[in-house]
Amino acid sequence: MKEPTPSISRPKYQQAAPGASLLKKTFVTIASASLLTGLGAVPAAQAAKPDEAKNLVVNGKFDAGTEGWRTNDANTEKLSVRKYAQGAVAELRTTETKTAVLNDITNTIKSTEADASYTVSARVRTEHPGIWGQLRTRIVGNGETKIVGESFGLNDTSWTTVSFDLTVPTSGSTVDLNVLAWSLDPSKNLIIDDVKLVERDAASTQPVPAPVEEDPKGPATVEEDPKGPAPVEEDTQKPEQNTDTPAPIQPEPIDKCDVAPKTDRTLFGVSLGGSTTGAKETFAQSMARQDANYDDTEVVRLFDPGMPVSWSKRAPYIEDKTISISFRPDPAEVLTGQHDAALLNWFNAAPSDQTIYWTYFHEPEPKIAAGEFTAAQYRAAWARIAKLADQACKPNMHATLILTGWTANPRSNRDWRDYYAGDSVIDVLGWDPYNDATSQEGPKSYASPESIFGNVVEISKNAGKPFAIGETGTRLIPTDPNGTQRAEWLKDVARYLDNEDALFVAYWDSKTFADFRLLDSASRDSWAGIIDGKY
């Protein structure tokens, strides 16, 4: 919590990407009529070539240039086609950092039959590693939009095949097909080829697209084609449909050991904090004090400075609570494997009947900036520990990355994905935003929840991850000595974060260089009521 959180209104934040090298299927339902706009008449698609008779995608190999394709914004997203003797590939670029979308001009499927099944696939690569995106379909019908997609991360320049199966439950729906590059930098590109959507019966008889070594269109690096690229053909057609911002995508469970966290409402709680008298407390005493202060808190935020403390020492005092716990062994030590056995034992011994959000090394940004370890080491250590958690197979435990609130602010010049070990590792995005975390003089006002939490909410939702607030808080302002204004601000925060579907919110009821504790009765009673669902 030792970084600033400026109290400013957030700017529009471009859709962010899960930075994963593994592919991950995602799904969301949006009951909103506004997403049905822009689906009117469009130019009729040309018939597929005979050798693509079972492929419903128009010009999926881009042999006809950009025909059948467009971007969502011709002014900032640039679509071109490179032609070679062996075939053609499409290229997406941008004029500013933003999500670029390759969009079918006419919805690939105009009207479905109930329970129709398809296989969707495409090949993607980049000449500038570090690209994240998604192959997705938008199913529109019966007043709602459903998205099924497969995320990808490109960490080298080789071709990657992305594919997933799609079943449309209702008849009469349309299916829109897109390939997205999340937060694409103008200096980078996404190259796309062999976009297919085939009926499942037909798909079962077709082989999976061959890896690049067997690709009849030539080598992975397209510039190596001896005939070189043909003149670029840019798509100049203005968007005619489906121009809405890509909807956030919620991940589906992968298996019984990776169940997406879910709550009927946002849960609220506190950190254990420190004794108001300054006397040392045992864990049992601290927990009893906070339960008395807040009438049995729902969530407890725990911190271990090194390896996690044994469950046997804490379990009797935290029964029936949602637990947010972080531990901080050095990444270099983790990567040697020296902590593997102890960590696996810790995961195995964890309670199975409580929701546990576990975090490896919360707020790593300052440590990385100071050179204590690298972002790559941090991500690799996360991945190693997550594999141990997978071995324990505890569906009630969720890997939660917790970053500072400042990192989500564009003024920080940070990219949250630098610390993100990938979709297959991280289950929940956690954040620590404050109302003025670090100034010596303290806050002069209680900033609006939107200005404090808006960036982290938008990043999390655009990344397709559930989110939580691992820490938050505020000191009293000069005009509020009795805490009555803070008490109302706390309720505003609770309503805002509950409305945005935060999984949990923990108040930083602690004293560091400054005092964030809720010592006045107005603030304490307010937070106790919030924990009890009264806000």
Cα(457)–Cα(417) distance, integer angstroms: 15
Q: Give the whole-angstrom CA distance, residue 265 versus residue 501.
A: 7
Residue among 244, 254, 250, 195 nearest 66 (CA)? 195
The backbone torsions φ and ψ at residue 66, rounded to the nearest 5 degrees and listed phi first, read: -90, 10
Q: How many CA atoms lie within 13 A of 55 on its CB side?
A: 19
What tens digit of pLDDT does each residue of 353-405 get?
999 999 999 999 999 999 999 999 999 999 999 999 999 999 999 999 999 99
**pLDDT for residue 80:** 95
Residues 238-270 pLDDT 10s: 333 444 444 444 433 344 577 788 778 999 999
Active site residue 450: no
* pLDDT score at 141: 80
Q: Which of 150, 233, 458, 471 is catalytic?
A: 471
Q: Find the length of the chain.
A: 535
State the chain's mean pLDDT as an integer.
82
| Model pLDDT for residues 431-485, shown as the tens digit of each residue | 999 999 889 899 999 999 999 999 999 999 999 999 999 999 999 999 999 999 9
Query: Is 363 designated active site?
Result: yes
Domain range annotation of the chain: 38-243, 267-531
* pLDDT higher than 70, residue 412: yes
**Neighbouring C-alpha atoms within 13 Å toward the C-beta of 502:** 27
Assign residue 501 a region: left if phi > 0, alpha if psi is -120 to 50, beta otherwise? left
Q: Which two tokens stand for residue 473?
A: 């808080």
% of the chain at pLDDT higher than 70: 78
Q: Please name the fold of domain 267-531.
A: TIM Barrel (3.20.20)
Task: Give this prediction's pTM.
Answer: 0.57
Q: How confident is the model at residue 78 (pLDDT cuts 50, 70, 90)?
A: very high
**Catalytic position from the list 363, 365, 458, 500:** 363
Q: What is the C-alpha to C-alpha distance for residues 509 and 523, in angstroms, rounded to an integer?
A: 11
Find, among 512, 513, 529, 532, the residue nearest to 521 by Cα. Answer: 529
User: Distance between CA atoms of 412 and 293, rounded to whole angstroms?
Assistant: 36
Instruction: Report the side by side order of strands in the sheet with 131-141.
Output: 69-70, 98-104, 174-184, 131-141, 144-154, 24-30, 250-251
Q: Residue 53's pLDDT band (boundaries 50, 70, 90)? A: very low
Q: Does domain 38-243 have CATH number 2.60.120.260?
A: yes
Q: How is 489-526 classified by DSSP, letter by letter? A: HHHHHHHHHHHTT-SEEEE---BSSSB----SHHHHHH
| Sheet of 160-168, strand order | 77-84, 87-94, 190-199, 116-125, 160-168
